[in-house]
Structure 1
Amino acid sequence: MIPRPPAAGSTRSATAGMPASGWRLGALYGPAVYGVSAAAVALPDTALHLRVTGATLAWVLTAYAAGVGVGAVTAGRLADSRGSRPVLIAAATLLIAGAVLCAVAPTLAAVVTGRVLLAVGSGSVIVTALTSTAQLPAGRRPAALAAFGACLAGFSATAPLAGAIAAHLSWRAALVLPVLSVAAVPLCWPLTAHAPRRGRVDWPAAGLLAVVAAGLLLTTQHAAGQAGVRTTVIGTVTTAAAAASLAIRQRAHPDGLLGRRILSAGWFRRAAATGASVYAGLFAVLYAAPHLLTRQGHGTVGIGLLLLPGAVVGAGLAWTTARLAGRLPAGRALAAVSLLQAAALYYAAADPRTWPVAAASTVAFTASAVAQTLLTAQTTTYTAVDVRGGAIGLLSLVFFLGGGCGAALCSALWQASGPTTALTVIAVLPAVGAIVVWPTMHGDRWMG
């Protein structure tokens, strides 16, 4: 039996049904996307000023991708037990602290620490935005999700331009762009609420999860990049040990950080696999597009402007798909955008000129926004209110881990075999995501 969404009332503000809710919550989530894609623009200047190598510099991006996921899972459990308002307060505090630390950090270690604080804060605002959207009245939720998806597509498409403008001012400015989420906190405050205390967060499990996430990303990058055997083995063993410890702890505390009811659900496995594959394609494009367009003589600001039309197209398509989601099975829309993303990536690999690359970027922006909005709607349908934050947090973890691994794999294959091979391999991932949701295309059978 499929659990129905809870009745609106006690868990949301009276203003939660306002038409602008989706745009406000999208503005809260959006800057989190800048943490990887916009920051990548500033890496050369960062290496120059901090006098570090490219391999060591990977921590600037890897730590953020891992931190967002871990922050999302932890914030999701906090939202279930305390409500979204305390989570939003903690998120704003972490974002400000991380930005200040990055602004004054004299070493790479200090910069990475600041980026971790930013990442955990971003993960928390992501969960706040998604759970607040999921708690809107059922009659107004589709319009809010449509606006949310359009806003997310716009932020994804403007990331390269935002990074270029910020990097022109300072490499530090480009690294702290996720702090812009703080500007949306007053707008979203009326949409949040407290909740009765229903348990506590398993902090040791959160620490183990952080090790697993960071280890998975770094091992993927080193292994695909043909790094030394010793480095790959150490990373693999450490990650495996942390994963085993986490599994043992989860077995002892089945309703802890990684909820048993969530992990065992068929809909969650489908959603996780599909979302991770789409985000892998998105992050790979955000890595590949600037490199390919630079080869054709475009500067950083020019690249950002070239990809800007994708914001309009992606936002429009994401809006339309989300509004029509109730009239067709979610699996059909997800399979369609996944296959379209795979085809666009493959075409860009075969013909890496300006317009194929720009088109692949637009499709990636659209696919990720559509996947996020539709899968958020699925989460609302198939989860009870007491585990909804945890489910959204876990999905966010998987999405950003998929994105981080996609970028790491694309980067490593690019260095080893060139852009054609890298994008061709990455194109397989969203195609796999389409296969995962294929059984749901002719009906609402997500629980199977």
Structure 2
Amino acid sequence: MSTHTSSWTSPGAGDTALGSRGAGWRWGALYGPAVYGVSAAAVALPATADHLANSGPALVWILTAYAVGVGIGAVTGGRLTDLWGTRPVLLTAAALLAAGTVTCASASTLAVVVCGRILLAIGSGATMAVALTATAGLPAARRPTALAAFGACLAGFSATAPLAGAIATHRSWQVALTLPVLSILAVPACFPLTTRLPHHRRSVDGVGVGLVTAAATGLLLLAQSAAQPSAATAVTAAATATITATLALRAHRRPHGFLPSGTLSAAWFWYAAATAGGVYGGLFAVLYAVPHVLAAQGYSTTDIGVLLLPGAVIGVLVARSAVRTARRVPPGRVLAVVSMMLAAGLGCAATNQRPWVLAATSTAAFTAAAVTQTLLTAYVTSRAAPHNRGGVLGLLLLATFLGGALGAAISAAQWPTAAAVLPVLGALAASRLR
């Protein structure tokens, strides 16, 4: 690697004058709008159903396609930051965000909307990978301060997402579905902090990229079949299993290929991935179901956004306390507690769908997601080799949003009893983190 990196700076190295906190806020502003692709879009789903004349189970594609697209963008963008640096990845991500926005804005059918959302999601995933890799690449002494600012910024976006979705829906349901494009506004501020291009770029394992994309797509189709079972489910499962096995074998034979070497054989990574996927599965279940339940009870889109806002703010405050607690106790214990808290909320909502219960469950979901993102980023950063860090964080994001896609699909089929199992599994995995 030394022959390739001598001519360029490490991620985040351009922030010397800003200080760690300033860099954390900038990267957080780049990452944050990706949250709107889930939370804000979920609030807009009832209005989207009216305009597209589609049922709720069909509309789950808007969330699941975005979730898996984010995962594909994150794992690809994360690995490319290892190979090429953050600058070209950031510019490519901005172009994808713009293309996805134009597609969604001109859509009149669900199929076109989903295509636009996939483009948006891949762009969002790449920006998320850039932001996480750059923040994680700061010197160890400065990283905690930057991560704290990054987490606070992310929590702020999470807190405002439901209301932002409601406001945008008043303008147009299409606007509400394209809010992740706001990440482009942070590109000028983050651009000076990106890596310079190396003189000799390393080649990209195109076959590895294709296999990861195919495996993630297969998992998306399997998740979607939870809401709309079909005879093709078994065929899809077999194909996905074959592709995944091929990918694992290729990673073993090509340790310097697309997947970071040693990651798939590391138990700590699988525990972290299961924790993140379980928590986000519960989060997506909440974000899909709560707006639909409240809309059926007669609440408007704005009412839903306002109702969820206080819970989101409470979640932000609780999450910050939990992150501070993790400095004194093992982070796995904190993650296990917030995962079980989310599972309990889903269980309560299964039997009592009063507005305050749904709001409380949303609070648990926002809290668990914020804590999980911050603690697992620090956890993975401490264990991944610097030259593989972007790829490992990208794989973690892929697992995170695949779990989210599964949660949304399960919620569309059986809200929310079955979805409560996902954060329970996440809690079990978190208890194994060391």
In 2, the alpha carbon distance for the partners of 1:328 and 1:40 equals 35
Give the drift of 1:203: 2.4
Q: Residue deviations 1:2-38, cap 9 Å, x none?
A: xxxxxxx744112363423322222211111222332
Equivalent position of 2:265 in the other structure: 264
| CA 176–103 in structure 1, closer or farther in 2 if over 3 Å, else same | same
In 2, the alpha carbon distance for the partners of 1:434 and 1:56 equals 30
Give the drift of 1:412: 1.2
In 2, the alpha carbon distance for the partners of 1:362 and 1:408 equals 21
Q: Identity of paired residues, percent? A: 58
Equivalent position of 2:217 in the other structure: 214
Q: Residue deviations 1:308-355, cap 9 Å, x none?
A: 112322222222333443332211211121122222222222322121
In 2, the alpha carbon distance for the partners of 1:49 and 1:305 equals 23
Give the drift of 1:43: 4.0
In 1, the alpha carbon distance for the partners of 2:196 and 2:324 equals 30
Larger mean Cα displacement after TM superposition, 76-85 or 110-119 = 110-119
Aligned residue identity for 1:435: L
Give the drift of 1:136: 2.3
Contact 1:25 1:133 in 2 (8 A): yes
Contact 1:282 1:365 in 2 (8 A): yes
Total equivalences in the alignment: 424
In 2, the alpha carbon distance for the partners of 1:351 and 1:24 equals 41
Equivalent position of 2:396 in the other structure: 395
Give the drift of 1:208: 2.6
List aligned pairs for 1:123-272, cutoff 5 A: 123-194=125-196, 196=198, 197=200, 199-222=202-225, 224-225=226-227, 227-228=229-230, 230-272=231-273
In 2, the alpha carbon distance for the partners of 1:390 and 1:58 equals 28
Give the drift of 1:397: 0.3
Contact 2:60 2:412 in 1 (8 A): no
Task: Give the counterpart of 2:429 among 426, 432, 436.
Answer: 436
In 1, the alpha carbon distance for the partners of 2:60 and 2:323 equals 35
Larger mean Cα displacement after TM superposition, 329-338 or 287-296 = 287-296
Q: Residue deviations 1:26-74, cap 9 Å, x none?
A: 2211111222332234445545555666665444333221111011011
Q: Does 1:297 align with 2:290?
A: no
Q: Residue deviations 1:264-309, cap 9 Å, x none?
A: 2222111111111111111111112212323433211111111111
Contact 1:150 1:314 in 2 (8 A): no
Aligned residue identity for 1:218: L
| CA 319–360 in structure 1, closer or farther in 2 if over 3 Å, else same | same
Task: Give the counterpart of 1:121 among 101, 120, 123.
Answer: 123
Q: Does 1:69 align with 2:71?
A: yes
Larger mean Cα displacement after TM superposition, 288-297 or 92-101 = 288-297
Equivalent position of 1:417 in the other structure: none
In 1, the alpha carbon distance for the partners of 2:136 and 2:185 equals 22
In 2, the alpha carbon distance for the partners of 1:349 and 1:404 equals 19
Query: TM-score, with normalisation over the residues of structure 2?
Result: 0.90
Give the SS at the match of 1:193. Answer: coil
Give the SS at the match of 2:140. Answer: coil
Q: Gaps (5+ residues) in structure 2?
A: 1-8
Aligned residue identity for 1:283: F
Give the drift of 1:244: 3.8
Equivalent position of 1:350 in the other structure: 351
Q: Gaps (5+ residues) in structure 1?
A: 1-8, 415-421
Give the SS at the match of 1:136. Answer: coil
Aligned residue identity for 1:213: A
In 2, the alpha carbon distance for the partners of 1:426 and 1:55 equals 15
Aligned residue identity for 2:94: A
In 2, the alpha carbon distance for the partners of 1:198 and 1:398 equals 28
Equivalent position of 2:408 in the other structure: 407
Contact 2:64 2:224 in 1 (8 A): no
Query: TM-score, with normalisation over the residues of structure 1?
Result: 0.87
In 1, the alpha carbon distance for the partners of 2:308 and 2:122 equals 28
Equivalent position of 1:86 in the other structure: 88
Aligned residue identity for 1:207: G
| CA 87–404 in structure 1, closer or farther in 2 if over 3 Å, else same | same
Equivalent position of 1:427 in the other structure: 420
Equivalent position of 2:5 in the other structure: none
Give the SS at the match of 1:403. Answer: helix
Aligned residue identity for 1:261: G
Larger mean Cα displacement after TM superposition, 343-352 or 391-400 = 343-352
Contact 2:56 2:412 in 1 (8 A): no
List aligned pairs for 1:289-368, cutoff 5 A: 289-368=290-369
Aligned residue identity for 2:342: Q
Q: Residue deviations 1:137-196, cap 9 Å, x none?
A: 323322322232232233233323222222221122122111011111122223322364
In 1, the alpha carbon distance for the partners of 2:42 and 2:83 equals 36
Give the drift of 1:198: 6.1
